[in-house]
Structures are given as C-alpha cells and as structure tokens.
Structure 1
Amino acid sequence: MKNIIPFMTRIPLHGDFEKVRHEIWAFPLLAVITSALPTLVLYFDFPLKNIITVLFLYFTIGLLHLDGLADFADGIMVKGDRERKIKAMKDLNTGIAGIFAVVMVLFIQVYSLNYAPFYALFISELNSKYAMVLALATRKPLGKGLGAYFMEAMNRKQLFIGSLIYIALLLPLVIYNQKVVFSILCLLIGAYVIKLSLDNFGGLNGDCIGAIAEITRAGTLLILAFVWWYL
C-alpha cells in the first residue's frame, strides 16, 4: 500500500510507480487516510465546517479526479458519434458541461454534509474508492493511458481482496447504525456511470474513472443526507 498513497493522494511519500497497479486491492483502505482530516472537522463542528471539510478533502486527494469529471462530462454531453465524444473528452479546453458537473458535485457535497452524520464522508470516500475498483474490474480500457495500465494488472484476486476490505470497513458502521446499509445501494450510482462510459465511449480511461470516483462520493453523501433527514 505504500506505493499507492503518493500516487492517489498529495501526501509527500515516496513510492514505486511500477508497483502501484498491483495495489488496486488497497483502494478502499485509502478512504481511512483521505477522510481522516475532513472527518475530524465535521466531528468537532468547526465554523463553516462543510466548506472546510471539502477543502481538506481535496487538499488530501488533489484535483485529478475533478479534472477527469470535467473531461468526462464534456464527452458525455456533446452530440455526435463515439469518435466525436472521445475527441471532446480529450480536448484540453474545459467546456460548459465540465464546469457545470464540477460545480454541481462540489455543491452537492457541501450541502449534503449539513444533514449526513460526521462519518458520512468516510463512507462516501469508501464507496468512491471501491467504485474505482469495480470500474477497473470491467477490464475494458479506452486507449493506452493510465486506465489501461491499471486494468492490465486487475484480476479476480485484487477484486476479491478489495471487496473484503470494503465490507470489513463498512460493517462496523452498519452495526453501529443500520441506516448505513443504504450506502451500499449508492454503489449503483458508480455502476451507472460505468455504464454511461461504456455506452458513450466504448471503454473507460482515467477521466472516466475519475468521474466515477467523484460522482459516487457526491451521490453517496446526497443519499445519506436524505436517509438521515427522512428516516
């Protein structure tokens, strides 16, 4: 896991990039690290805690996935055939669809934290990271970028271990509060984004996987906010 931390976060550690793709199973474990500081802010109820929480989250994980979300949205929203959509996604300029997607994801996260429990950010990060594992398990790369690089090393063993870690981290919270079980359903959001990627682009690249991570996290927070508000 020591190699994946500097690759997936802004934590200044040294790792071997060649070994990163063999640690896909550890993605769910990253949620413990990436959500630690933001969750403390929520727990101690600082002023403007929602905004500070989201800022600390992206301070830890960086903006790579948000950038992928913007590119993904540009590709999804453009009209035309698959080739045109892929071209729009790979365009270096960010369009209005990408800007809108990023703003909405940020807004949903900040607003949802008003109603979700303080540990909801950990759950949402756990879902986000596990959704990335599921995306890589499709083994349907688009192009020869980072997505393909990771998918080449993805196998049943990594998926199985990653799934066990996901369950092990989520189960104590389900026991603590049965409402948490609804967070499992939130993985369907990630599954839907995977389907969108396959339908529109014919595969998944790094931008698609980044979008899956961002949308799954925001969707999880939104659904947990509804669950805590209404149940």
Structure 2
Amino acid sequence: MRNLLPFFTRLPVRGDFEKVRKELWALPLIAPITSALPTAVLYLGLPLANVLALLTLYLTIGLLHLDGLADWADGIMVKGDREKKIKAMKDLNTGIAGLFAVVIVLLLQVYSLPLVPFYALFLAELNSKFAMLLALATRKPLGSGLGAYFMEGVNLKQMAIGTALYLLLLVPFVLIEPFALASLLGLLAGFYVVHVSLENFGGLNGDCIGAVAEITRTGTLLVMAFLWAYLGG
C-alpha cells in the first residue's frame, strides 16, 4: 500500500513506482487516509465546512484526477469520429467542455456536503477508489500509458482482495446506519463513465480513470444528498 500513496495522494511518502500495479488491491485502503481531514472538518462543523472539506480533500489527493476529468470531457463532447475524440482528449489545452465538467463536479460536491451526514465523504472516497479498481479491471487499455500499465497488474486475486477490503470498510457504517447502504448507488456513476469511455474511445486511459474517480465521488454524494432529504434524515 505504501507505494500507492505517492501516486494517488500528495502525502510526502516515498514509494517504488514499479511496485504500484502490484498493490492496486489496496486502493480502498487509501480512502480512510484521503478522507480523514475533510471528514474531521465536517464533523467539527467549522464555518464553511463544506468548502473547507473539499479544499482539504484536494490538498490531500491533488488535482491529477480533476485534470483527467477535464481531458475526458473534452474528448467526449467533441463531434467527430473516435480518432478525433481521442485527439481532443490528449490535447494539452483544456477546452470549454473540460472546464464546465470540473466546475460542475466541484459545485455538486460543495452543495451536497451540507445535506449529508459527516461520514458521507468517506463513503464517497471509498467508492471513488474502488471504482478506479473496477475500471482498471476492464483490461481495455487505450494506448500504452499509465492506464495500460496499471491494467496489466490487475488480476482476479487483486480484485478479490480489493472487493473484500471495500466491503470491510463499508459494512461497519451500514450496521450503524443502514442509510449508508445508499452509497452503493454512487458506483453506478463510475460504471457509466466506463461505458461512455468505451463507446467514445474504445478503451480507457489515465484520463478516463481520473474521470471515473471524480464522477463516482460526486455521484455518491449527490445520490446520498437526495435520498437523505427524502428520507428525512
């Protein structure tokens, strides 16, 4: 797990990049680390807690996945064939579609946080990390970049361990508060991103995986906010 931290967080931890793809099963274990400070901010009810929680989250995980989301959205929204879409996604310049996607994702998270229990951000991060593992398990790489490199390391054993860890982290919350089970619906957002990526690009790369992470977290918070409101939490 230690080797994952330098790549998936901004924590000052040294790791061996060559060993990262052998430890992808531990992605769910990163969620308690990345959500610790934001969850504490929400629990303490500090002024502008929703904004501060999101700031501390991105200070911890960095902006790599947001950058991937922007590139992914640019590729998805451009008109044309698959080759043109892939070219737009790989363009170093961020287009209006990418900017719009990033703004919407940030706004949805900010406005969802005050409507959900303080632990919801942990569940959203847990889904985000697990959704990345599921996306990598498709083993449908686009090109030969980081996405393809990581996919080569995902096998049945890694998926089994990763799924077990995901459930072990989720179940205690469900036992304490059954409403936490609603967070599972957030994974559908990640599945949708994978589906759209395969339809438009024919495979997944690092940008697609970043989009999966961001949209899954956002989708989880949004679903929980709606259900919490209707359930009268």
Report TM bin, short chain. Answer: over 0.9
Mean Cα deviation higher: 218-227 or 177-186: 177-186
Give the equivalent residue in structure 2 for 1:73: 73
Q: Alpha-carbon deviations, 1:183-229, whole Å to 9, x = none? A: 11211110011000000000000000000000000010011111111
Partner letter of residue 219 of structure 2? G
- SS in structure 2 opposite 1:10? coil
Distance 1:100 1:149 in 2: 29
How many aligned positions are there?
231
Q: Alpha-carbon deviations, 1:84-127, whole Å to 9, x = none? A: 00000000000000000000000000000010100000000000
Give the equivalent residue in structure 1 for 2:50: 50
Give the equivalent residue in structure 2 for 1:97: 97
Partner letter of residue 152 of structure 2? E
Q: Alpha-carbon deviations, 1:41-82, whole Å to 9, x = none? A: 000000010110000000000000000000000000000000
Please tell me whether residue 136 in structure 1 is matched to residue 136 in structure 2: yes
8 Å Cα contact 2:186-2:221 kept in structure 1: no
Shift >2 Å, 4+ stretches: none
5+ residue gaps, structure 1? none
Give the equivalent residue in structure 2 for 1:189: 189
**Given the two structures, how large is their TM-score scaled by the length of structure 1?**
0.99
Aligned Cα root-mean-square deviation (Å): 0.5
- SS in structure 2 opposite 1:14? coil
Give the equivalent residue in structure 2 for 1:216: 216
Give the equivalent residue in structure 2 for 1:110: 110
- SS in structure 2 opposite 1:113? helix
Distance 2:176 2:191 in 1: 27
Partner letter of residue 138 of structure 1? T
- SS in structure 2 opposite 1:60? helix
Give the equivalent residue in structure 1 for 2:177: 177
Partner letter of residue 41 of structure 2? V
8 Å Cα contact 2:132-2:209 kept in structure 1: yes
Partner letter of residue 150 of structure 2? F
Distance 1:183 1:230 in 2: 15
**Given the two structures, how large is their TM-score scaled by the length of structure 2?**
0.98
Distance 2:82 2:146 in 1: 20
- SS in structure 1 opposite 2:115? coil
Give the equivalent residue in structure 2 for 1:15: 15
- SS in structure 2 opposite 1:158? helix
Give the equivalent residue in structure 1 for 2:37: 37
Distance 1:204 1:7 in 2: 18
- SS in structure 2 opposite 1:184? helix
